[in-house]
Structure 1
């Protein structure tokens, strides 16, 4: 029998291997930073787990109602008891035949609304008479992009109406369709959403009331109505549409405000009476007869890269604090799903036109009382493109006396140029004296650069009003003219294989034509200005002459083609009026003769002119005293 012998070499080998392993473990032990990171990770995981557990306990009602309701069978007392433990008295709604995710349709000739039993809110809102840029029907609500949730407390339970089932009852009141959605605790106890849709209307009546919930509904705890919507893209240019997609609202009487259109924004407002989740040409609105005591309004810009095809523009939210009266909820409201059309908004007499970007102050007034009614009248019997041209002609004719005054002032300055050059040469070493003598000459002749500027300034309100009108004019949407398929979006004559910053990936013709017309106009108006002496501090007119057309060419490439069409026609008409005034109305020889007669007459200075003259005299005397 073979005896086992002690192997010293094997022992030494095992000891060496063990030592190496211990040394490796020592070298790879975590640093203090790694230990802290691991600890933070563990704590975060624990917090997440706790939050998940709380979420499950805090009535994960979607799961509770689906699982428990599926298990409820007639006479199944155990399942009914489980449901009651989770929902309290509102477990009654889970035993009704309506306790499943089915829908009811409210519909008229312009609007189709689909309301779900689960949550009792609108899950689809279809505008029947409109399509998107790609001919797909316009849905303001579809595929879960919107929710309406009532957060309330009942029997020591925090409940969310969006997880509970309502019982629908559809009826008619004449031509009006009425849908009652009741979240029941019994046959006589319930929370009711009531929708009433009238023929031909985008605006419908909506109310939230409660009845028979004494001892069940906890009105000492805050009750919130939480409305959220992600705005779908509807236009060809996502950047242009997104620029005019904005949350607007009315609060504190008849004050109006809006959230930022370009970034994440949030406001907490008091006494809010309506809010509009505007998507450029379409609006989703909620209005209330009883102002909401407090509303948290949020807006998030979802367009991160304008070069990428994007489904949504903005994420809107409004969390409204409701005030129960007499232990019950009672709010009479309205909902609007339809076009952002000034004419439609105006007829409701609720200041809804303030939700449209028509400009502030005088600019908005010009739009509301002149441009919008006039364009509406023209577009009733003319195609949209022709209506723009006729509107432009009428506006230019209306402003032609102002333009005549402007050109007449420029002509006078041109006639005086030789004498002004003599003054400049005579006092070339004394800039103050040049200004003083030039002012005397202009006053005696009844000519002044200011008289040429004032008429141009008077045209600015109309110019800016039209700049804000065209992007918001719903009547231009999907109306074609010449090569432009849609006057509310950019026209395209060429697609580029690449994207140019600020310009885009296409070439629009109307901005090119408008740029050329502006350049010709600038050449005509600045040529004689540049011939005159360049006053110190005055802008470089040659630079402005090139900058304006370039600005139009680049930045208007993505703007509505209707706006570029207006500027093109407007500048063509302006050029024509200037040529007529120059060649057939204004005679520079006669102007020169009148100026000489006027110069010979004693000129009475007004207070401002006397003050300026005194100041210049004092400055001249101080300068002479300083040289002594």
Structure 2
């Protein structure tokens, strides 16, 4: 048998295979590293797609070249709002609410080169960086969901800053994403990044003082409580916030963060406060510290409501931004939000604004009529007891303590209580104050006319004055005059039924009868005519109810018989009356002891 052996070619081939295997084993790139490189490339592509939220390549849609340092304006609009965005700073230069007009009947612009929105920090070389000074390239992309504008700045070293605006087909909520790529090479770990949002609010109403009163900065803090800066004077604060609202009476600009921002510096300043024809009312400033992400980059998502301060529009958005509307504090705000706003919204869907207000007056007065009846009944009892009270006052005119005791005795025997006449009035106060807060924020009144009033959300004018009167203005409004006149008749009629105070130092109702109507006439001259209309109708209806109750429902003879019957009944002191009697007796005893010591 032939012996098997390896020839030289086989040996060479075998050695070659061994060498090839060793080379592959020793010099093959690490599989994990290769995957990492591949994944990084894929992730960068995904990031680029996410940055622009478009499947199209950025360069294929490139409209401007970064080397061309000129400003271009881009239109971003939907059915409700139109924005013009500048490639310089990626700023919103103009914001137009397409469904609303200003006082000159022109397109209402919330933003018109009156806003700054910029990121600022110092670089590692201590050079100031301000995104407002950068020129951006941009692309546009429109889908069935809405339209987006992608703006990108690239510096000479390849670092990028990207602004992505997205506006849906309908509504007032603009979405903004801001991120950087490679800025960790520019930003030091100890550097502070600030977002500065400055805004000058336009005057959009005839009454600048009235509008300025409801133009203010507020924000939702980390505990979801809404806090306000003063609307009447310059103010500042440092606090955390989930969103910041620059309220402009009937319009608003609300910036919503993706997370709560801490140590925000808020400032509110009055502008041109000495002018009677102001273009701007207030300047709002917010300096917002921005934290960079783990990679040392800016990566922020914002939602930006720019639209009407209409409760029935703004309440449909998240994060309780409708709380930026001030309905009144405590129970007054609850009454407005739960009763008057739904009631007026229902009525205004079926009637004109003026008729809706009148019906709201009638319904409110009917609901409050039982309270008024109690008040008028108490006044009738006081009128019957007036001769006895006057006699007791004359008898003990030199002894105030005894006079007070005798007066309380007469009330107790007759079954009357002077507080019964005051309590109904106090019960009505929350309702009336809630209405006072309702009309300034009732967006539905804006632009609605009634009789001679062209706009129920601001004052009516029947005559212009050639001069300005402090507190009154430079015009004459008719509705406040009617409110003052009807209030005068009401206070005159109700005052004639009330007893004048017998205690020294107590105010005389005759003076109050003139002060209240005069105050209405002066201060309501610059208020919403809808408010004056409400009080005018309310006063007329109150007079009618008062005459009906006193002349038809109440019978003074029956009330007198009731008082006489009460006097015959044995009386037991209540806890309050007993305590009051003991206090009076203790005070009387102290007076006697003091007199004895003086002797």
Matching of residue 481 in structure 1 with residue 446 in structure 2: no
For the 8 Å contact 1:207–1:332, the answer to whether it is kept is: yes
Q: In structure 2, do the counterparts of structure 1 residues 345 and 563 end up closer, same or farther at CA, with 3 Å as the change threshold? A: same
How much has 1:172 moved relative to structure 2?
A: 2.3
Matching of residue 443 in structure 1 with residue 418 in structure 2: no
Q: In structure 2, do the counterparts of structure 1 residues 314 and 626 end up closer, same or farther at CA, with 3 Å as the change threshold? A: closer
Matching of residue 294 in structure 1 with residue 263 in structure 2: yes
1:268-307 aligned within 5 A: 268-269=238-239, 271-307=240-276
1:204-353 aligned within 5 A: 204-269=174-239, 271-307=240-276, 309-326=277-294, 327-353=296-322
The one of 394, 398, 406 equivalent to 2:367 is 398
For the 8 Å contact 2:66–2:154, the answer to whether it is kept is: no
Matching of residue 118 in structure 1 with residue 88 in structure 2: yes
1:81-100 aligned within 5 A: 96=66, 99-100=69-70
Give the SS at the match of 1:253. Answer: coil
For the 8 Å contact 1:98–1:167, the answer to whether it is kept is: no
Q: Distance in 1 between matches of 2:137 and 2:188?
A: 22
1:574-613 aligned within 5 A: 574-613=542-581
Give the SS at the match of 1:491. Answer: coil
The one of 500, 524, 544 equivalent to 1:556 is 524
Which residue is equivalent to 2:388?
Answer: 419
Give the SS at the match of 1:246. Answer: strand
1:353-368 aligned within 5 A: 353-368=322-337
For the 8 Å contact 1:152–1:218, the answer to whether it is kept is: no
How much has 1:187 moved relative to structure 2?
A: 11
Which residue is equivalent to 1:619?
Answer: 587
1:55-66 aligned within 5 A: none
Give the SS at the match of 1:575. Answer: helix
Q: Distance in 1 between matches of 2:73 and 2:103?
A: 29
Q: How many residues align?
A: 532
1:241-266 CA-partner distances (Å, limit 9, x unpaired): 11211111122321222222233322
For the 8 Å contact 2:65–2:137, the answer to whether it is kept is: no
Q: Distance in 1 between matches of 2:275 and 2:401?
A: 54
Give the SS at the match of 1:334. Answer: strand
Matching of residue 534 in structure 1 with residue 525 in structure 2: no
Which residue is equivalent to 1:56?
Answer: none
Larger mean CA deviation between 411-420 and 573-582 belongs to: 411-420
How much has 1:99 moved relative to structure 2?
A: 4.1
For normalisation by structure 1, the TM-score amounts to: 0.81
How much has 1:274 moved relative to structure 2?
A: 1.1
Q: Distance in 1 between matches of 2:587 and 2:260?
A: 63
Which residue is equivalent to 1:370?
Answer: 339
How much has 1:374 moved relative to structure 2?
A: 0.8
How much has 1:447 moved relative to structure 2?
A: 1.2
1:293-327 CA-partner distances (Å, limit 9, x unpaired): 221111110132243x2211111111110011212
Q: Distance in 1 between matches of 2:331 and 2:151?
A: 46
Q: Distance in 2 between matches of 1:405 and 1:190?
A: 74
How much has 1:235 moved relative to structure 2?
A: 0.9
Which residue is equivalent to 2:103?
Answer: 133
Q: Distance in 2 between matches of 1:426 and 1:227?
A: 73
Give the SS at the match of 1:528. Answer: coil
How much has 1:623 moved relative to structure 2?
A: 4.0
RMSD: 2.0
Larger mean CA deviation between 213-222 and 435-444 belongs to: 213-222
How much has 1:509 moved relative to structure 2?
A: 0.3
Q: Distance in 2 between matches of 1:442 and 1:306?
A: 57
1:557-579 CA-partner distances (Å, limit 9, x unpaired): 11110010011011111111111
1:489-504 aligned within 5 A: 489-504=458-473
How much has 1:100 moved relative to structure 2?
A: 2.3
Give the SS at the match of 2:497. Answer: helix
Provide structure 2 residue ranges, at least 5 long, that are not aligned to the other structure. Answer: 1-62
Give the SS at the match of 2:498. Answer: helix
Q: In structure 2, do the counterparts of structure 1 residues 508 and 457 end up closer, same or farther at CA, with 3 Å as the change threshold? A: same
Which residue is equivalent to 1:68?
Answer: none
Give the SS at the match of 1:125. Answer: strand
Q: Distance in 1 between matches of 2:66 and 2:328?
A: 52
Give the SS at the match of 1:324. Answer: coil
For the 8 Å contact 2:393–2:502, the answer to whether it is kept is: no
The one of 495, 518, 521 equivalent to 2:487 is 518
Matching of residue 409 in structure 1 with residue 391 in structure 2: no
Matching of residue 147 in structure 1 with residue 116 in structure 2: yes
Provide structure 1 residue ranges, at least 5 long, that are not aligned to the other structure. Answer: 1-92
